[in-house]
Amino acid sequence: MPYKILVVEDNDNNRTLLSDILIIHGYEVAVASDGQKGVDLARELLPDLILMDIQMPGLDGMSARSILKGDPATSRLKIIAVTAFAMQGDKEKILAAGFDGYLSKPISTRELPALIERWLKGES
């Protein structure tokens, strides 16, 4: 049974890129276009991994992560921050905020599959 990955991303191009790469590599993929839809789908599907954009209108990725990690039903979900924040110290701040991993944009399509495997295995 393939791993389920939820992509929460408001940008259509980024959402399609992530989704296509994951599908090609054999993952079952669900997508949400904003934080609230992401929270709702995460509660429904209980995916193996969530790729969560940080900057989204409405419920942003930080707030969505807080909701999911604060709910006993979803607190153990692995949530990876996907962000354009790539300045020195940004990764550390995001990981300190409780994300299980960090992926900077632009996304390397060559590196993504290996990163996904590591995160699914619980490696940082």
Across residues 13-42, what is the average pLDDT?
Answer: 96
Domains in the chain, number: 1
Look up the CATH number of the domain holding residue 30: 3.40.50.2300
Residue 36: domain span:
4-120
Which ranges of the chain would DSSP assign to H, the alpha helix? 12-24, 35-45, 61-70, 90-96, 112-120
Peptide bond into 106 cis (omega under 30): yes
Give the whole-number percent of the chain exceeding pLDDT 70. 97
Q: pTM score > 0.85 for this model?
A: yes
pLDDT bucket at 49, cuts 50 / 70 / 90: very high
Encode pLDDT of 55-112 as tens digits: 998 999 999 999 999 999 999 999 999 988 666 778 888 899 999 999 988 888 899 9
